[in-house]
Amino acid sequence: MFSIKHYLLAFAWLATIASHAQSAVQPPTRMSVATFLNIVNTHDDIAKAQSAVQMAKVDIELASASPSPTLTFGNACGDVSGISMPHQLYAGLDFTIETGGKKKNRIHYSQAQADLARVEYEIFVRNFRREALMLYNTCWLEETHIATLTNYHDALAKMTTADSISALQKSIALKKLQLDIAALEETFHENIIAFNELIGSENTIVYPEGPAWNETNDIIVADPKANDLTLMQQDLSSSVAHRELALAQSNQRGDYTLSLGNSFMTRARNTEAPSPAYNAVTATISIPIRFTSNKSNTHMNRLKKEALDQQTTVTSDDLKKKWQQLRQQKHKLTEEIKIITELLNDQLKLMNIISVCNTANISNAEELCALARRKQDKEIALAKINGEIFWHNDTPRTHLIANTK
């Protein structure tokens, strides 16, 4: 279901295409990746996610509060016999005295939840920034790929045909290229609308200025640190689970109740048992008595703790192995993209040199398109690796981001 905003952006998209067709003098509106990141950092979704951290801090204050006392008052004893015996009016406070370290475990549990909420917020922000950069980079790659295929189409269209067979082969190759360009333009259209929705552009279609990540030799994949968010989230999640278990165990203990109050006895007017009015102070304590065996709870708590201790965890060594794989994949993809780019340039030069279109040249053109698609797939895979590198850095390393070095 498309919203009105989708239609407005689509209309702006069509208007932009029409303006480009009428005049090539006015360039499209471009946005640098640095400006894009500044907009993303102030997005409403990030501000909303931060409210969970504030709520977790409030929960710590609530957890540190002791149970509120209960006010009890009323007619504790009343004469309904009609023989003028006294009435007892009572007013008092009941205090709950927690046992088993409930308050301490409740505070520890809330603190652990607050720490986890803070890390999960940071993870959300990094995920949001990474996905936004991936969208930025995807739009740039798709736009570049469309321009590349269009150049191949134009180069092939300019070639003359030597016979009817080569003319038919040329027509088929051109139609295939047109279908590829149309499919890519459709995907690009959807992504560029999502991109403009993200930055809040409603009246003008904005395009990325360049790639999201630099592909230079100074991009270093650092080893994971002890404060890596993945490890922190894992440790804090385990801490929350253990604190929750400790709180559940303490809640199994009964609490004491201390009652302090005053009883006012009215005057008895019965001639056989007269008594004056007076006040009486009362103080009682209620102690819970357990009639059932505690073995089942103890056994269940032990099983839960063993289950928590045996959970599979990711260690820093596991992350180091992952980084090593990323290094290898990044190096391999970078070299492959370099080779494919050189092949594409050579093939395009050959197409421009040869003016006659024959079977061999058409095969070269088809190979050229296949190489272009392969290059795009490799660039998308490399972008995912760059996104992973960007995500795991404690602070954004600006040399990873294009146009900010």
CATH of the domain at 146: 1.20.1600.10
Considering the domain boundaries, does residue 91 fall inside one? no
Note whether 29 and 195 are within 8 A (CB). Answer: no
Considering the domain boundaries, does residue 92 fall inside one? no
Determine the pLDDT at residue 208.
93
Structure tokens at 120: 């999960």
Neighbour order of strands in the sheet with 256-265: 70-77, 88-97, 256-265, 278-286
Considering the domain boundaries, does residue 61 fall inside one? yes
Considering the domain boundaries, does residue 267 fall inside one? no
Considering the domain boundaries, does residue 313 fall inside one? yes
Give residue 220's Cα distance to chain centre: 25
Print the domain residue range for 108: 26-65+98-254+290-400
Determine the pLDDT at residue 1.
45
The 8-class DSSP code of residue 402 comes to T
**Domain count of the chain?**
1
Determine the pLDDT at residue 39.
92
Considering the domain boundaries, does residue 405 fall inside one? no
For residue 281, with 0-12 CB atoms within 10 Å meaning exposed, 13-18 middle and 19 or more buried, which class applies? exposed
Considering the domain boundaries, does residue 14 fall inside one? no
Cβ-Cβ contacts under 8 Å for 147 (sequence gap 6 or more): none
- List the chain pLDDT tens, one digit each, 405 residues: 445 555 445 545 554 544 444 444 467 889 998 899 999 999 999 988 888 888 988 888 888 888 888 888 877 666 666 676 777 788 889 998 888 888 899 999 999 999 999 999 998 998 999 899 999 999 999 999 899 888 888 877 877 777 787 788 888 888 888 998 999 999 999 999 999 999 998 888 999 998 888 755 444 445 555 567 888 888 888 888 888 888 888 888 888 889 898 888 877 777 676 778 778 888 888 888 775 556 666 667 677 777 766 666 667 777 778 878 888 888 899 899 899 888 888 877 776 666 555 555 666 677 777 888 888 888 888 888 888 877 776 444 444 555 554
Considering the domain boundaries, does residue 221 fall inside one? yes
